[in-house]
Chains A and B, each alone.
Chain A
C-alpha cells in the first residue's frame, strides 16, 4: 500500500511540474524544437531544473543498500548503444516533433480535458501493441 501512495504522490508532483513548466502545452514544446523559427529555449531549462535535483539525488540515494519500501533498485544496467536504442529514439523524436507530446505530458493533459491528449495516449498505446506484435515475430 505504501508503494502505491508514493507512486500516486510522485505522479502528482510530476504532473504539477509538467504543468508549471508548460510542457503540457504542445505549442511550448514545438517552439523549443523549432530552432529556425521563433525559438523558445524554455524546455532546456526544464531539463536543467530536473537534472539539478535528480543528478545529486540519484547518486546519494543509490548509496543506500536498498530503497525504503523495496528490496533493491530497479535500475537498468544496460550499456549497449545499439541499433534498437538509436532507431527507437529516432522514431520517438519524429513522433514527438509531429505531435508536440511525449508520454508524460500526453497523460497529464488528460487532466486538462484535452482531446489531443486522448488521441495521443490512444496513439501511444497503439504503438506499444504494434511494437510488441512485431517484436514477437
Chain B
C-alpha cells in the first residue's frame, strides 16, 4: 500500500460528488459520463450543447489542474495501446448495454440508493478485479 493517498482521494471524490449534486440541482441531470458522451451524437439538438459543454469542462478541469499543480499527474509509459483500444471498445459497448459506468451507476445511482446500480457496480468491480488478475498475474501482459 505504498502509494495509498486517502486524503486527496477523499477530497477529489467529494468534488466529483459536488459536481453531480450541482448538475442535478440546476439542470435536473445525472452526471453519468458514458450517457453524456453517447448523447453528444444521439440526442435531439437542444440536448447536445449542455453535454458538449460538460465534456469540454472535463478537459478544461484537467488544464486548470495542471496550472495549479504542475507535475502532480505523471502520464503512464509503455502500456500496450492495443489493450487500451480494445478496453475502450468494451467500455463503450458495456456502458451502453448496462446503461451506465462508474459515475452513473457507481456514484449517482448508489447515491439514489438504486439496487440496480448497486448490482451493476458490484458486477463491473468484480470483472475489473478478475481482468487485472488475469492480465498481470496469469498472462503477464503488462
Interface bits B1-34 vs A (CB < 8 Å: 1, else 0) = 1111110111111111111111111111111011
Which residues of chain B have a CB within 8 Å of any CB of chain A?
Answer: 1-6, 8-31, 33-34, 37-38, 41-42, 49-51, 53-66, 69, 72-76, 79, 81, 83-99, 101-103, 105-108, 110-116, 119-121, 123-133, 135-137
Residues of A within 8 Å of B5, CB to CB, are 22, 42
B95 touches A103 (CB 8 A): yes
- How extensive is the interface on chain A, given as a class? 35 or more
Question: In the assembly, what is the distance between CA of A20 and CA of B19, in Å?
Answer: 14
Contact of A116 among B12, B14, B56, B81 (CB under 8 A): B81
One of B27, B37, B98, B133 near A7 (C-beta < 8 A): B27
User: A residues 71-111 with Cβ under 8 Å of B?
Assistant: 71-76, 78-81, 84-104, 106-111
Are B90 and A91 in touch, CB under 8 angstroms? yes
Known contacts A87-B97, A89-B105, A124-B37: does B13 contact A39 (CB below 8 Å)?
A: no
* Residues of chain A with a CB closer than 8 A to B83's CB: 98-99
Min Cβ gap B124→A in Å is 3
Q: Is the CB of B131 within 8 A of A126?
A: no
A49 touches B61 (CB 8 A): no
Give complex CA distance A66, B63 in Å. Answer: 33
A33: B residues at CB distance < 8 A? 128-129, 131-132
Partner of B96, one of A37, A55, A73, A127: A127
Q: Which of A50, A90, A110 contacts B124 (CB 8 A)?
A: A90
Is A99 a contact partner of B4 (Cβ separation < 8 A)? Answer: no
Q: Which residues of chain B have C-beta atoms less than 8 A from A47's C-beta?
A: 13, 106-107
Not counting A17-B19, A86-B119, A122-B88, a sample of 17 additional A-B residue pairs whose C-beta atoms are within 8 angstroms of each other reads A5-B53, A14-B15, A25-B73, A27-B76, A33-B129, A36-B133, A42-B9, A52-B17, A73-B28, A90-B98, A94-B131, A108-B59, A111-B60, A116-B84, A123-B91, A131-B97, A132-B42
Q: Which residue in chain A gives the minimum CB-CB distance to B108?
A: A54
By a CB distance below 8 angstroms, the chain B residues around A123 are 84-89, 91-92
In the complex with contacts A19-B61, A26-B76, A51-B107, A61-B88 CB distance below 8 A: no
How many Å lie between the Cα of A114 and that of B69 in the bound state? 17
